Amino acid sequence: MEGLVERYIVTLRCVDAPGVIHAMASALLRAQGNILEQAQFTDEATGKFSMRTRFESPLIELENVRSLLDTELSKFGPIISLRREAERRRALIMVSQQDHCLADLLYRHANGELPIDIPVIVSNHYDCQTLAHQYNIPFVHIPVTSTNKMDAERNVMSLIDEHSVDVVVLARYMQILSNDFCSAHEGRIINIHHSFLPGFKGARPYQQAYDRGVKLIGATAHFVTADLDEGPIIEQDVHRVQHNHSALDLAEIGRDVERRVLARAVRLYSEDRVLLDDQRTVIFA
């Protein structure tokens, strides 16, 4: 069927070596590919090479494209991710009681601004159930107590498997995930942190920010890692505040920053624009 094309997104990470870009270009030429977007980056500090290419090709079988990529690129020992653009990333969203990040993600999703699928929302509370149902997304209540944490995580893992989830989005989920859970999903859990990182540790961060009289309130979206309090940063932003903002005002402004920083991070992820490079991210925005 003449003229039929499929759109693909491929990302690649490997040790930098001469010829990688050439090899990718060769593979795409053999796939009669038309490059729509391409970006690459060599980290001179680590010698790691990262690349993202969005292209269209008359090869409508993904396996045929993958095979060409493997043929040309395998000598570089790369980590390759390839998908049809139309097969969207699948996000499981976890939330506790505060709904501002969830509400924003669901609004943007419904509005066509977040090209992901959201098969299920998980919460350890019931506060956000109505919101989930307004947007016709299944809501699963998984309570967390001091004794059932492992069970709860196993339930989440089952949902991840059942729904072929690519990424877990912690949209103000107030439980700490176990190291095992984090390790098993490295680079696949996005958290929104209520602070510009490195930031105020411990409870009541906006009270701490008030006590210090900060002039900017920030938020950080980052990957969750097992061994670190704070994983690779995906996106950050700030908003200016003044001495006459109370700790409550700061919290309200903080919610505003949080929701748009998380939305941007999920958007970047949904288009495969976020590549992990050890403790850092490469963002092909």
| From 80, 140, 184, 233, residue interacting with a copy of itself (rule: CB under 8 A) | 233
DSSP secondary structure letter of residue 96: -
Beta carbon nearer to a copy of itself, 15 or 216: 216
Note if 249 is an active site residue: no
168 Cβ partners below 8 Å, 6+ apart? 91, 92, 93, 94, 156, 160, 185, 188, 189, 190
115-123, 141-149, 181-189, 235-243 -> range binding a copy of itself (CB under 8 A): 235-243
Judge whether 142 and 123 are in contact, CB under 8 Å: yes
- Which residues are 186's β-sheet partners? none
The DSSP secondary structure of 237-261, one letter per residue, reads: EEEE--TT--HHHHHHHHHHHHHHH
> Smaller CB distance to a copy of itself: residue 20 or 144?
20
> How far, in Å, CA of 154 to CA of 266, rounded?
24
26 forms part of the interface with a copy of itself (CB under 8 A): yes
Q: Which of 109, 210, 224, 250 binds a copy of itself (CB under 8 A)?
A: 210
Stretch that binds a copy of itself, among 6-14, 30-38, 80-88, 163-171 (CB under 8 A): 30-38
At its nearest, how many Å lie between a copy of itself and the CB of residue 63? 22
The correct pick among 47, 204, 215, 229 for binding a copy of itself (CB under 8 A) is 215
How far apart are CB 64 and a copy of itself at their closest, in Å?
A: 17
Sequence-distant (≥ 6) Cβ neighbours of residue 9 within 8 angstroms? 52, 53, 54, 82, 83, 85, 271, 272
Burial 77-93 (b: 16+ CB within 10 A, else e): ebebebbebeebbbbbb
Q: Which of 229, 237, 249, 256 is catalytic?
A: 229
Residue 174 binds to a copy of itself (criterion: CB under 8 A): no
Q: Token digits for 161?
A: 């498997």
Cβ of residue 16: shortest distance to a copy of itself, in angstroms?
A: 8
Give yes or no for residue 113 binding a copy of itself (CB under 8 A).
Answer: yes
Alpha-carbon distance 252 to 17, whole Å? 48
Sorted by sequence, the CB contacts under 8 Å of residue 136 that are 6+ apart come out as: none
Q: What is the CA radius of gyration of the chain?
A: 21
Nearer to a copy of itself, 19 or 77 (CB): 19
Q: Does 266 engage in binding with a copy of itself (CB under 8 A)?
A: no
The nearer residue to a copy of itself, 106 or 118, going by C-beta atoms, is: 106
Residues making contact with a copy of itself (CB under 8 A): 18-19, 21-22, 25-26, 28-29, 32-45, 100, 103, 107, 111, 113, 134, 196-200, 210-216, 218, 230, 232-238, 240, 242-244, 246-247, 252, 256, 260, 277, 279-283, 285
Residues classed as catalytic: 229
